[in-house]
Structure 1
Amino acid sequence: MKQAVLQSGKGIETLEIREVAMPQPGPGEALVRLQAATLNFRDLIMAKGLIPGIAKEPELVPLSCAAGMVEAVGDGVTRVKAGDRVTPQFTIGWITGAQPTPTMLGGSIDGVAQQYAIYPAESLVLNPDELGDLEAATLACAALTSWSALTGFRPTGPGDWILAHGTGGVSIAALQFAKAMGAQVIVTSSSDAKLSRARSLGADVTVNYRTTPNWAAAIRDAIGGAKITNVIDTVGATQFADNASLLVEGGQLSAIGMLGSEFSWTRQDPRVDLKPIGVGNRDQHEAMLAFIVAHRIKPVVDVVYDLDRIRDAFQMLESGQFFGKVGVNLL
């Protein structure tokens, strides 16, 4: 089988494709034929060493989000069977409640940029027929992070204002989920073309932060004050003060990303309910899937590369010239 490998922290130019033996499942495990994967910004973090010490050393099979089909199961497996369409959890073993382990695909353990892999059967989520493999492959990290931000602490509902920064996988999933929940959504981007696409998905207010440097004031004028109940913060601490100024008293700042600076996790403001978001567990993933099916949500994948061109996929991710998700065909 084919498998992508990189040298952890040494750059995307170290990516290579290898031929390796197909693994076999042991007790409690399932062999999955992975068919599609998608990239997240964290994949650049692992490849480039942006947060030292969190990637498996010295080599790593990258990527954390995939979908495929169960090929075979080991002894004692009842959760899945051969032929089931599945997605491996982002955090292996996180079934319910608080996170018990930092065992994350494409980070502390090998990821999904390979054609076959072994997983604990209990860490597999069954995919609905309504979603294709590529669509299902968008969900384990980015979409589940958005789902957790919108439902895990302060449930989103009709009339709420949600601010989502950027048009990558987390923010576009947040836009789709929040609109289905009845909320009003603001999206920021440096691209008018991307903002147009966001409006086609239901964005109520869009602001180009490049042509409108005082984007916070523009948002406040557009919505009539500080009315935002939840900020999907993919950028980080550099925008903390502006985000805080837009929130209602006690509004939630969902600290998710570091696209522009360090995370916002340690910042404090008495007006802000800051919530670090750590993706989610299997129960939350299944609840998200049910919501997606009920509301007929279609995840957005902008461009897809074959596994042999995974370096090109990383370069597209790094460029930021995409909308939603960058995909990889593993077939």
Structure 2
Amino acid sequence: MSYMKQATILTGHGIDTIAIGKVPVPQPGPGEALVQLTAATLNYRDIIVALGLIPGLGKEPDVVPLSCAAGEVVAVGPGVVRVAKGARVTPIFAPFWLTGSKPDPRMLGGPIDGVARQFVVCDAESLALLPDELSDLEGATLPCAALTAWSALTALRPTGAQDWILAHGTGGVAIAALQLAKAMGAKVAVTSSSDAKLARARSLGADLCINYRTTPDWAGELRKALGDRPIANVIDTVGASQFDDNAALIKEGGQLSGIGMLGSEFSWTRGSPDVKLAPISVGNREQHEAMTAFIVRHSIRPVVDVVYDLDRLADAYRHLASGRFFGKIGVNLR
């Protein structure tokens, strides 16, 4: 019997409960594929599960964490036609949400075990092919952060050329939104507390960068630079604490994309009849495939700031919690 490394965390009990152990390599059954995972990435959602910030989000008492990874199919069970041995793939974030607008609550690294392990058995239909133009590590940035940004920019209000997009912060969702929106012909404003991060965002095409620490009235500064109510879509990873400022910047027909809770509860708790508020629930396999094709077509290279080995997963979590990163934090699963 062969064994693999696998991480677990006690849901809601904190980062220090992460444990790395050895378990048997599973085998695929009918309709399933065994994937040897090589790279993974973290999302703020992993912190939410670790700390229990949203009750019921994580499987209890423990869960294999992380929702985003890439690797190679090494075996398939009877009846599999979607993928073959040797295919490079990414498991999608919500394995049973293949198409349609209604999200499926069964998501990796939360309600069901995730990808912080060296091998995983997946329903073959939940695998998206990874094009040769993207590395495994780049592919591992796609299932949650990039797809969330893609859905915010395309699902409810298609982004138009010359639209102004406002992305808060320089984490995975914000940087993916910057790269995708620029490829769509939009203009992008970015806020951050770090001039160094803003310089990196500018190198990726950001048109307007505002340090909200040195410019507390960042909304006024943005309005002064662009005019009254200039924003077509706010990529809101901060939450309700910025709702009023965000809402006051959105033009008629614009959208506030409620994505995160870095600073408070989610924006949709502060909904307003005057604001088109769009809660973003990542996306389905069909959207994942459309996004991947767009990324390849426009030669977008996802940004990974630093990579940790699986044995140092707790350190990767602490780095994520610190906020001292740009884009994504990767995990080497080899």
TM tier, shorter chain?
over 0.9
What code does the residue aligned with 2:93 have?
A: F
Query: What is aligned with 1:275?
Result: 278
Structure 2: any 5+ residue segments left out of the alignment?
Answer: none
From 139, 158, 170, give the equivalent of 2:161. 158
Aligned-partner residue type, residue 178 of structure 2: L
* Contact 2:103/2:281, CA 8 A, preserved across alignment: no
Distance 1:156 1:100, change over 3 A: closer
Match of 2:177 in 1: 174
**Matched position secondary structure for 2:276:** strand
Tell me the distance in 1 between the aligned counterparts of 2:104 and 2:239. Answer: 24
Q: What SS class does the counterpart of residue 195 from structure 1 fall into?
A: helix
What is the rounded CA distance, in whole Å, between the counterparts of 1:324 and 1:100 in structure 2? Answer: 25
Aligned equivalents of 1:268, 1:98: Cα separation in 2: 21
Tell whether the 8 Å contact from 1:99 to 1:281 is kept in structure 2 after alignment: no
How large is the Cα RMSD of the aligned pairs? 0.7
Q: CA deviation at 1:100?
A: 5.1
Does 2:190 correspond to 1:206? no
Query: Which residue does 2:287 correspond to in 1?
Result: 284
**Structure 1 partner of 2:118:** 115
Residue 269 of structure 2 aligns with an amino acid whose one-letter code is: T
Query: After the TM superposition, which segments of 4 or more aligned residues of structure 1 sit over 3 Å from their partners?
Result: none
> 2:232 maps to which residue?
229
1:70-107 deviations in whole A, cap 9, x for unaligned?
Answer: 01000000000110000001001111002352110000
Alignment partner, residue 310 of structure 1: 313
| C-alpha contact (below 8 Å) 2:90/2:143 kept by paired residues | yes
Question: Structure 1 residue 241 and structure 2 residue 239: aligned?
Answer: no
Q: Is the 8 A contact 2:103 2:284 kept in 1?
A: no
Deviations 1:41-81 (A, max 9, x none): 00000011111121100011100000000010000000001
Residue of structure 1 equivalent to 2:196? 193
* Residue identity (%): 70
Indicate the SS of the match to 2:268.
Answer: coil
Q: Distance in 2 between the 1:252 and 1:133 partners?
A: 33
| 1:10-46, Cα deviation, whole Å (9 max, x unpaired) | 0000111000000000000000000000000000000
* Shift of residue 256, structure 1, vs aligned partner: 0.3
8 A contact 1:35–1:67 mirrored in 2: yes
In the TM superposition, residue 227 of structure 1 has moved relative to its aligned partner by: 1.0
Mean Cα displacement is larger for which, 218-227 or 34-43?
A: 218-227
Shift in CA distance, 100/172, structure 1 to aligned 2, threshold 3 Å: closer
Q: Deviations over 1:99-120 (max 9, x none)?
A: 3521100000011000001000
Partners of 1:242 and 1:107 in 2: CA distance: 32
Alpha-carbon distance between aligned partners in 1 of 2:132 and 2:56, rounded to the nearest angstrom: 39
- Report the counterpart of residue 73 of structure 2 in structure 1: 70
The 3-state SS of whatever aligns with 1:114 is coil
Q: Which amino acid aligns with 1:305?
A: Y
> Is there any run of 5+ residues in structure 1 with no aligned partner, and where?
none
- Find the counterpart in structure 1 of residue 36 from structure 2: 33
Q: What is the CA-CA distance between 1:268 and the residue it aligns to?
A: 2.6
1:147 is the counterpart of 2:187: no
The equivalent residue for 2:47 is 44
Deviations 1:195-247 (A, max 9, x none): 00000000000000111111100010111221100000000000000000100
Does structure 1 residue 130 correspond to structure 2 residue 133? yes
What does residue 60 of structure 2 align with? 57
Matched position secondary structure for 2:329: strand
CA distance in 1, matches of 2:286, 2:320: 29
Partner SS, residue 252 of structure 2: strand
Give the TM-score taking structure 1 as reference length: 0.99
Please say if residues 236 and 256 of structure 1, whose CA atoms lie closer than 8 Å, have aligned partners that are also in contact. yes
1:265 to partner: Cα distance = 1.2
Task: Confirm whether residue 4 of structure 1 aligns to residue 4 of structure 2.
Answer: no
8 A Cα contact 2:103 2:283, kept in partner: no
SS in 1 for 2:98: coil
Q: Does 1:260 align with 2:263?
A: yes
Contact 1:67 1:133 in 2 (8 A): yes
Q: CA deviation at 1:269?
A: 2.5
Secondary structure in structure 1 of the residue aligned to 2:270? coil
Q: Structure 1 CA distance, aligned partners of 2:123 and 2:90?
A: 12
Residues 118-163 of structure 1, C-alpha deviations (whole Å, 9 max, x = no match): 0000000000000000000000000000000000011001110000
